Amino acid sequence: MDDPVLREAQAPAAMARWVRDFGAAMEAGDAAGAAALFAPESWWRDLMAMEWSIRTHAGPAAIAALLSARLPVLRPRQVRLLEGWPAPRRVVRGGGTPCLEGFIGWESAHGPVEAALRLVETPDGPRGWIIAAHLTGLPGRPPPETVRHANPEDYARQFGGENWADRRRRAQAYAEREPAVLVLGAAQAGLSIAARLTAFGVDTLVVDREARIGDSWRRRYHALTLHNETHVNHLPYMPFPPTWPVFIPKDKLANWFESYAEAMELNVWTGTELVSGRRNAADTEWEILLRRADGSQRLVRPRHLVMATGVSAIPVMPDLPGLGDFAGTVMHSGAYTEGHAWKGRRALVLGTGNSAHDVAQDLHESGCQVTMIQRSPTHVVSIEEAQRVYSIYTEGLPTEACDLLATAAPHEVLVRGYRHATAISKRADADLHARLAARGFRLSDGIGGTGFQYLYLQRGGGYYFNVGCSDLIAEGRIGLIQLADIARFEAGGARMKDGALHEADLIVCATGYLNMQETARALLGDAVAERIGPVWGFGEDGELRNMWRPTAQKGLWFTAGGLAQVRIYSRPLALCIAAQEMGLG
């Protein structure tokens, strides 16, 4: 009889045996022997550990090919279960697969590696199911987390000389040197990669067109609060205080970004815009012309340019019949702040994603008569159920362990997990969905039933976390019409196909943003944009296109996403850039 308690007690020993055999094969350079320890359905997700990229290798044959090519170069050693990390345990992952989960590591010619490992039972005993292997440091540059004082000489007392503040002012001025890396954007993505690069000793300058760090969040609509919980969202090296609210308000987050940049000693120029950019004739560095806050211009020559402008950089305004004839105010949701000025007036909100719902709810609460215009079916999930996809972070493990586990879901397993979570949340939200459908709201389960997270990763929108607006729609307190039922817009509002006029004084277009490829096009030209191709969304390899890894344009990198994403993936990106600076990449 299978005793779950006994099986759990045996978990560490079972994984230790597998790791012993795996380590022996790896250290002997036996690629075939190591790959034979994996199940027929298995994946090796590599985050700079074996290759200077982020790639997924599916099945024992692909894993064998990877190891055959890389083991002679990397010469792994000391393959082991990681000490001080959570002990191996039996869990269910990927929407229903029982597995044995633990954390292993090894040393290699390119630096230390930490990996999340999942084993499954087969007729031949435990076999590898998923491994997500992360490079964590470089030769001579150990992981910053393990270094107590990275540069103690920087803080030595120098009587009669420069103090810390003098050195910081000089470092930020770049009067006598060029940055190795220029980062565009000083929100969560830009600050995270700058913190990682700085910790790895790579001279990094961040520029942002806003007047203050965090203004890209401060200027967003008045009621904005994060939709995922604080414990998921820490930035690298500096977690939020445990006393913080469960969901962080936008202005609190913006102020934290400003404090973070100061505490992490990041070099940031605010009020600075990129005027033009190109590679030099020798293709060794960028020539980037910047316009500073005082109107002066500075040509900088970094070897690397990191686009951290976000997936919400260039607003999309719809081209709809008659919209140009509307006599009231038309704005994109990105320009919306708060609704008090529209009290007692009428508004149409075009779109039914997160921003659209939040804008509509804010206008309603401000005393405006609001009608939403739905363009396409929308996935709606209650804010409580939305946290289900972050469940790993509720299991009591350290954030570092959770981050490794969060990457241990190759595309196929990710899809299974999202379908499973979506099916559960649909049952929990069934009453809400029924009430919305009764009002004519068209619902979606996401792409192939995968819910909101896959929609975000693939399209950047198409969903709403209900914090009250869905209830207002279901109760008829916020109106709803379908775009397909509108004949055209005119001076007074939206003329329906049945002849009725939905009068409006304001139209807010919550119609999304262009792909980051178009940001690159606007800043660096058509040739660069076409060379790299689309940014974001899954490619044929099951990874997000052009994100956190080398692109087809030498020296051009992209980072974007929510706070957890940029915390996790800023490390492999920083390591790849640092490796190139050392001549390793």
Q: For the whole model, what pTM was predicted?
A: 0.94
Q: CA 327 → CA 293, 322, 493, 503, distances in Å?
A: 36, 11, 8, 11
pLDDT of residue 9: 65
Structure tokens at 19: 């790791």
Residue 405: its pLDDT value, please? 97
CA separation for the pair 381, 117 (Å, rounded): 31
Q: Give the number of other CB atoms < 10 A from CB of residue 577.
A: 25
Cβ atoms within 10 Å of 17's Cβ, excluding its own:
12
Q: What is the pLDDT of residue 203?
A: 98
CA 106-405-417 angle, 5° bins: 140
394: three-class secondary structure by DSSP: helix
C-alpha distances (whole Å) from 456 to each of 27, 261, 309, 440, 561 are: 40, 27, 17, 24, 9
How far is residue 433's CA from residue 422's CA, in Å, rounded to a whole number?
A: 13
H/E element holding 575?
helix 563-581
Q: Helix or strand or coil: residue 263?
A: helix
pLDDT at 314: 86
Let me know the angle formed at the C-alpha of 414 by 412 and 416, rounded to the nearest 5 degrees: 75
The DSSP annotation for 2-26 comes to: --HHHHHHHHHHHHHHHHHHHHHHH
Quote the CA–CA distance of 363 and 478 in Å, as a whole number: 10
Q: What is the C-alpha to C-alpha distance for residues 474 and 451, in angstroms, rounded to an integer?
A: 21
Q: Which domains does the chain have, with CATH numbers?
A: 4-135 (3.10.450.50), 178-313+514-581 (3.50.50.60), 323-509 (3.50.50.60)
CA distance 491 to 498: 18
Rounded Cα gap, residues 573 and 373, in angstroms: 40
For the chain, the helix, strand and coil percentages under 3-state DSSP, each to the nearest 5: 35, 25, 35
Order of all β-strands in the sheet with 493-496: 486-490, 493-496, 501-503
pLDDT tens, the chain, 585 aa long: 355 545 666 888 999 999 999 999 999 999 999 999 999 999 999 999 999 999 999 999 999 999 999 999 999 999 999 999 999 999 999 999 999 999 999 999 999 999 999 999 999 999 999 999 999 999 887 788 776 655 656 556 777 788 889 999 999 999 999 999 999 999 999 999 999 999 999 999 999 999 999 999 999 888 899 999 999 999 999 999 999 999 999 999 999 999 999 999 999 999 999 999 999 999 999 999 999 999 999 999 999 999 999 876 789 999 999 999 999 999 999 999 999 999 999 999 999 999 999 999 999 999 999 999 999 999 999 999 999 999 999 999 999 999 999 999 999 999 999 999 999 999 999 999 999 999 999 999 999 999 999 999 999 899 999 999 999 999 999 999 999 999 999 999 999 999 999 999 999 999 998 989 999 999 999 999 999 999 999 999 999 999 999 999 999 999 999 999 999 999 999 999 999 999 987
Distance (Å, whole) CA 499 – CA 55 = 55
Q: How far apart are CA 535 and CA 556, in angstroms?
A: 12
The H or E element spanning position 167 is helix 164-173
pLDDT at 154: 57
pLDDT at residue number 223: 86
Q: What are the distances in angstroms from CA 430 to CA 94, 244, 436?
A: 23, 32, 10
Rounded Cα–Cα distance for residues 580 and 302 (Å): 13
Q: Which residues pair with 238 in a beta bridge?
A: 235
